[in-house]
Amino acid sequence: MPLYRSSRNRTIGLVAKNNIKATPGRMLINTFENIFQSAAQRKGGIKKFEFLLSGDGNRVAKTPAELKAIPDDRYLAEMTRCIFRSGFVWKIIENKWADFEIAFNHFDTMSCAMLSDENLESLAQDARIVRNAIKIRTVRDNGQFIQQIREQHERFSYWIADWPVTDTVGLWAQLKNRGSRLGGNTSAYFLRLMGRDTFILSRDVLTALFREGVVDQTRAPGKRALIHIQAAFNTWQQESGRSLGEISRTLAYSVDS
């Protein structure tokens, strides 16, 4: 079904159920199948492209049950890893990661939430880890965030797993507003690395969304644009039955980079 109707009508079907309104005068006319075929042609055919999308099974999103089984300390650890990687050399973080685990008590959420200012100052002088005081402070902040979620949902993992994929941008907003330094694409990368199905608004994905008329610029989208991006992904997912991650990667591979 088309995502957008005329300027006088609201969206229909799944998009309407999510209270997402159409952008005046815009139409989403390209099907996911057309985008998929274009991407597959660029990557050597459907068989090779399907392998590229799945990463030989390594890129398959986890089920809600699998996400719920992950201990909350692993969520805090991956948040921290993504935050420290942002704007930094990833290899350095990976080489030091075992020491990060030791320095932060294997990211036990209660221990991290209760870090004192003195503890943080000491960690900022610890040569075993990257001594970025601002990012080190996020471990306490995000430990407290996770503890707050646990008070309402028993486990942070339950909250992540139960959030509807049709409102992925809403989950991003919660992570950004309630957590620390989880804005931009950091929350999306965090979720994907944990196995939670999500799309990532890379430069190539935004270029493809611009081409398809979903957004009117390729810069980082604002709140209104995110609503329309989510609506487009919902429509393509309903059409194709594919994960958000597969749709996201297909869009990226459909442009010349």
Contact 199, 237 (CB under 8 A): no
Contact 250, 212 (CB under 8 A): no
Check residues 6 and 31 and name the one with the higher pLDDT.
Answer: 31
At 131, list the tokens. 């001594």
Whether 88 and 142 map to the same domain: the answer is: yes
Task: State the CB neighbour count (10 A cutoff) for residue 136.
Answer: 24
pLDDT at 5 over 70: no
Whether 93 and 152 map to the same domain: the answer is: yes
What is the model's pLDDT at position 57? 59
Residue 7 lies in a domain: no
Full domain range(s) for residue 52: 13-61+199-253
What is the model's pLDDT at position 29? 67
Check residues 18 and 140 and name the one with the higher pLDDT.
Answer: 140
- The span from the CA of 147 to the CA of 134, in Å, is 20
At 255, list the tokens. 């442009």
235: amino acid identity, one letter: T
Contact 230, 166 (CB under 8 A): yes
Whether 48 and 77 map to the same domain: the answer is: no
Whether 212 and 248 map to the same domain: the answer is: yes
pLDDT tens column, 153-212: 999 999 999 999 999 999 999 999 999 999 999 999 999 999 999 999 999 999 999 999
Task: State the CB neighbour count (10 A cutoff) for residue 15.
Answer: 26
Q: What are phi and psi of 65, to 5 degrees?
A: -65, -40
Share of the chain above pLDDT 70, in %: 88
Contacts of 55 (CB under 8 A, 6+ apart): none
pLDDT tens column, 106-156: 999 999 999 999 999 999 999 999 999 999 999 999 999 999 999 999 999
Q: Tell me the pTM.
A: 0.88
